[in-house]
Structure 1
């Protein structure tokens, strides 16, 4: 697990100037939902090409009540935020929106290194 995190952290240094921001508006989430969906064992990834001049990578996170109670949902979202922080600056495409959706009982329990690999493969 450690070497996967180190590999992701090392790879993010050259592209650290590439901005990554968080989606907050419902309309952005709805537009991303109309984009491509990539299911993986630990989460679902929605990808949308904004087709604008803004090179920023934008990312959003969501977990429904199916994931569990508030504690389980928050844990799942923390894990999704961390894999996005490690992987998107390196493997994400500029001008794209990404939404990571937590899965019931999978997002909180799947091994972290496997979730990193899942996100890299989904991109």
Structure 2
């Protein structure tokens, strides 16, 4: 579970990150990263649409992504907003595949 201070919940923040942030995509997900000046902690949000699968599948994908993103919180720049959007192939991807795709995408948007 992500600590409350690191959760992205406001719709406006999701919109702003996806429209103004840097974007990188892989086979299973798309990552949007918006770095803003300030001292707020990094926040992470997830978008897992019905195209990914039924509720059980979507929740499993979101739990996996949440756990993987928690490991990257320390490496995110201060006051960053990260939105991770799962694509339909994420439903059948293993935990290791999701982790590799997240690492690859974060490396591209952080550079």
Give the TM-score of the pair, scaled to structure 2: 0.81
| Residue of structure 1 in register with 2:69 after alignment | 84
Matched, 1:115 2:98: yes
- Can you give the 5+ residue segments of structure 2 that lack an aligned partner in the other structure? 107-111
Q: Secondary structure at the match of 2:90?
A: coil
- Can you give the 5+ residue segments of structure 1 that lack an aligned partner in the other structure? 1-18
Give the whole-Å Cα distance in 1 for the aligned partners of 2:93 and 2:74.
22
Please identify the structure whose Cα radius of gyration is greater: 1
| Residue of structure 2 in register with 1:99 after alignment | 83
Is contact 2:39–2:78 with CA below 8 Å preserved after alignment? no
Q: Which consecutive segments of 4 or more residues in structure 1 shift more than 3 A?
A: none
| Residue of structure 1 in register with 2:16 after alignment | 31
Aligned length: 102
Q: Secondary structure at the match of 2:69?
A: helix
CA RMSD of aligned residues (A): 1.7
